[in-house]
Amino acid sequence: MQVLIIEDDAVMAAHVADLLAGRGAVCETVADGRAGLARAAAHPFDLIVTDRMLPGLEGLDVVERLRALEVETPVLVLSALGQATDRVEGLERGADDYLAKPFADDELLARVGALLRRARKEPHPEVLVIGSIEIRVKARTVHRAGRHVALSPKEFELLRCLAEHAGQFVPRSLLLERVWNLRFDPQTNVVDVHVSRLRGKIDEGFEAPAILTARGEGYQLVADPT
Amino acid sequence: MRPPRRLAHSALGRYAALVAAIFLAAFAVVFALVATTVSAYTERRIVETIRTDLAGLEEVWRVGALPGLERVLADRRAAPSASTPPRIHLVIAADGERVAGDFVAWPNDLAPRGETLAFTDAGGRAWTGLLRVVPDGPTLLVAHDRSEHEALMAGLARELALPALLAALAALIAGIVVGRWLLARIERVNATARAVEAGDLAARAPGATRDDEFGELAANFNAALDRIAVLMRSVHHLSEQIAHETRTPLARLRARLERARREIATDPAVAPRAFDEAIEESAKLIAVFAALLDIARAEAAAGDARGLAPVDLAEIVADVIDLYEAVAEDRGLVLAAETRPVVVLGERMLLTRLLANLVDNALKFSPRGGRVDVTVAVEGDEAILAVRDRGPGLPDGFEVVAFDRFTRAEATATVPGHGLGLGLVRAIALRHGMRLGLDRADPGLRVTLRARRAVE
């Protein structure tokens, strides 16, 4: 996997490159918008991670020009401009996802994972099988080790989102966005309550927990629950 | 104090000149009216005198024929009347022969002047005359000297010119004096504005108590300055607060990192927990800044209709209940909603966040076994969204500052939160032009949000 990082802050660029290298990516870092555009247009990367406020050319201008050149490489915008309107602007101008700085490492990895999956255009499977858990998407039913687990609609969406990222930590903010369509963090950790209910139902009668808590930041559905 | 402007460039000079010009123009109109009236009157007098004269002469002819006329005219020439202006006569017999008179023949330059004739004699005197052809008799011409009439008109103009000039001068001076006085009052406001610009933010325009337009100008100007001063103080206060509020988490963040560094040397096994805590601390700090930015953004967008779309309040309530119901249940609380569909103009995400904050707050402060009600009602063309809890309510006097940034009631120190939740609620209400209300519900608190219903 080849990733182009367009970021003028050396510390941030090295940090993102380190994170992605941990997932097996080969990263190339460029500190200037124009150079980034030239490199992205010339080489088939799997993913572009770009800042917004860049010397030479603004990050969103880079994205817009890439799209005009019919380069469809998935782009994740990483920006200190993190308001809802900034995000909407980023997506409207061709970015595939938008993450506000400062961010949690797990959230960056989760979003990158989702982007790459989408880019690979994997067909949405009708049945998701994660270890002993079987999720039928259309029928909206869940079985663990052959036993039916009754879930509320939101609990089902929660499990599906975790299942799509099985084996990875999914931050709360991503769950809020995907399950409740909310782009803000409620003061009380409402997600925790919903997850603990889901956990109660899915783990009932099983010794090994299927859902892990990630250092207070998010959750993970283990890749191979028994 | 800046040097006075040159008169020609100041509004004062222009206004004074304008006043004098208007005065002169009015005077000219009055003079023209007087002159025409006087002139017409004296002209009529002359014509009437001549007409009487002509009638008399005609009578003389009837009685004494031409010789009679000759005699009368000779008498007149011998003893001119003192009461009438100089006059001249001419009598021409029916056959065209000159009979008597002061002329040798008809004057050449007879010009008709209405019914009268006007002409100038060889000596340059102007005359007004009247001609009468007596049927079967002679033609009579009598003319009066106009010089007296002309002198009267010239005298009239002469006599009035000086008073007119004096009056215009008086108008100019009055214009300057009154203008000076008016401009001096404006200058005081200007001087205040310059003082404020130069840095004296406490400067205020004098004369604001006077009950006239200038008093009003000064009062409005001062009110604007007061408002700016209040805003500046609150900005100053806020930046101090932000600095203060972030010091504590930054200190804790630093302490945790220092501990992690120590532990990694002495006890590597427990170090990761200190790092986790440091990350958690930084997340809290990030949340504070994010909330501050969100508040600033919402406040800046106040009154901006862009981005507003029809939103059903009932749907927003349903979303938020869906999010918080489980939380309420876990805490042994009842979260109930009673809504009806009401469409308002708003940003869906912001309104959801507003209600989430209110419900979050209500649940946080509810005693176990309590109940929180969320209602949507309609009153006229207003939609009313209300959240009512049965918690301790607000301490006395707290209503005023409840929505300010970083304010938290003292008794709630143990409840988690950064004190920005209600600040964001107020900013979002402001952004939508919605009115926020706090009512004591005994027990508990009722927060209401009144919004204008969107026209469907």
Among the partner residues B280, B349, B421, nearest to A183 by beta-carbon distance = B349
Whole-number Å distance between alpha carbons of A117 and A111 = 10
Of B153, B171, B197, the last residue of a domain is: B153
- Do B18 and B127 fall into the same domain? yes
- Give the closest residue to B338 by CA, choosing from B309, B365, B313: B313
Whole-number Å distance between alpha carbons of A158 and A202 = 12
Whole-number Å distance between alpha carbons of A105 and A103 = 6
Average pLDDT score over residue span A162-191: 86
- Do B113 and B145 fall into the same domain? yes
Residue B117: its pLDDT value, please? 78
Task: Note whether A88 contacts B: Cβ–Cβ < 8 A.
Answer: no
From the CB of residue A174, how many other CB atoms can be counted at a distance below 10 Å? 22
Residue B162: its pLDDT value, please? 85
Among the partner residues B286, B326, B353, nearest to A184 by beta-carbon distance = B353
Is B185 among the domain residues?
A: no
Condensed to tens digits (0 to 9), the pLDDT of residues A201-225 reads 998 888 888 998 876 678 989 888 7
Condensed to tens digits (0 to 9), the pLDDT of residues B211-257 reads 888 888 899 999 999 988 888 888 888 888 888 878 888 888 998 89
- Mention the CATH class of domain A2-119: alpha beta
Of B106, B138, B153, the last residue of a domain is: B153
Total of domains in chain B: 3
**What's the gap in Å between the CA of A193 and the closest CA on chain B?**
6
Task: Assign a CATH topology to domain A127-221.
Answer: Arc Repressor Mutant, subunit A (1.10.10)
B157-191 in b/e burial notation, b at 16+ Cβ within 10 A?
Answer: eeeeeeebeeebeebbeebbeebeeebebeebbee
- Do B411 and B376 fall into the same domain? yes
**What's the gap in Å between the CA of A22 and the closest CA on chain B?**
19
CB contact under 8 A, A193 and B327: yes
Is B203 among the domain residues?
A: no
- Do B127 and B17 fall into the same domain? yes
- pLDDT-based confidence at A151, cuts 50/70/90? very high
Spell out which residues of chain A touch residue B297, defining contact as CB-CB under 8 Å.
83, 85
- Do B11 and B147 fall into the same domain? yes
Domain interval for residue B98: 7-153
Q: What is the DSSP string of B320-383?
A: HHHHHHHHHHHTT-EEEEE----EEEE-HHHHHHHHHHHHHHHHHTPPTT-EEEEEEEEETTEE
- Do B396 and B318 fall into the same domain? yes
CB contact under 8 A, B322 and A154: yes
A63 pLDDT more than 90: yes
CB contact under 8 A, B297 and A180: no
Is B168 among the domain residues?
A: no
Task: Note whether A104 contacts B: Cβ–Cβ < 8 A.
Answer: yes
**If you count DSSP H runs as helices and E runs as strands, how many of each does chain B have, helices first?**
7, 13
Q: Looking at the DSSP assignment, which residues form a beta bridge with residue A136?
A: A127, A141
What residue of B is the nearest CA neighbor of A181?
Answer: B349
Average pLDDT score over residue span A171-177: 89
| Residues comprising chain B, all counted | 456
* CATH number of the domain encompassing residue B247: 1.10.287.130
From the CB of residue B225, how many other CB atoms can be counted at a distance below 10 Å? 18
A111 pLDDT more than 80: yes
Whole-number Å distance between alpha carbons of B194 and B188 = 10
Condensed to tens digits (0 to 9), the pLDDT of residues B196-220 reads 999 888 889 888 888 888 888 899 9
The answer for residues whose C-beta is within 8 angstroms of residue A171's C-beta and 6 or more apart is A104, A106, A107, A110, A214, A217, A218
* CATH number of the domain encompassing residue B18: 3.30.450
Residue from A92, A187, A199, A215 to probe the interface with B (highest B Cβ count within 10 Å): A187
CATH 3.40.50.2300 residue ranges of chain A are 2-119
CATH 1.10.10.10 residue ranges of chain A are 127-221
Q: What is the DSSP string of B171-224?
A: HHHHHHHHHHHHHHHHHHHHHHHHHHHTT-TT---S-TTSSSHHHHHHHHHHHH
- Do B23 and B146 fall into the same domain? yes
Q: pTM for this one? A: 0.66
Residue B147: its pLDDT value, please? 76
Of B136, B153, B170, the last residue of a domain is: B153
Is B120 among the domain residues?
A: yes
- pLDDT-based confidence at A158, cuts 50/70/90? very high
Spell out which residues of chain B touch residue A195, defining contact as CB-CB under 8 Å.
none
- Do B284 and B372 fall into the same domain? no
Residue B91: its pLDDT value, please? 80
Average pLDDT score over residue span A3-30: 94
Residue B86: its pLDDT value, please? 75
Per-residue pLDDT of chain B (456 residues; tens, 9 = 90+): 455 566 656 777 787 788 888 888 888 898 889 888 988 888 888 888 888 888 888 888 888 888 888 888 888 877 777 666 677 777 877 777 777 777 655 666 666 666 777 777 777 777 888 888 888 788 888 888 877 777 888 888 888 888 888 888 888 888 888 888 888 888 888 999 999 999 888 889 888 888 888 888 899 999 999 988 888 888 888 888 888 878 888 888 998 899 888 888 888 887 788 888 888 888 888 888 888 888 888 888 887 788 789 999 999 999 999 999 999 999 999 999 999 999 999 999 899 999 999 999 899 888 888 999 999 999 999 999 999 998 887 777 777 677 777 776 655 555 666 678 888 899 999 889 999 988 888 888 899 999 999 876
Residue B409: its pLDDT value, please? 61
Whole-number Å distance between alpha carbons of A84 and B174 = 65
Residue B108: its pLDDT value, please? 60
**If you count DSSP H runs as helices and E runs as strands, how many of each does chain A have, helices first?**
8, 12
- Do B414 and B353 fall into the same domain? yes
Is B288 among the domain residues?
A: yes
Is B202 among the domain residues?
A: no
* CATH number of the domain encompassing residue B417: 3.30.565.10
Among the partner residues A102, A180, A187, nearest to B421 by beta-carbon distance = A187
Is B159 among the domain residues?
A: no
Mean pLDDT of chain A: 89
**What's the gap in Å between the CA of A38 and the closest CA on chain B?**
34
Strand (E) or helix (H) holding B101: strand B98-101
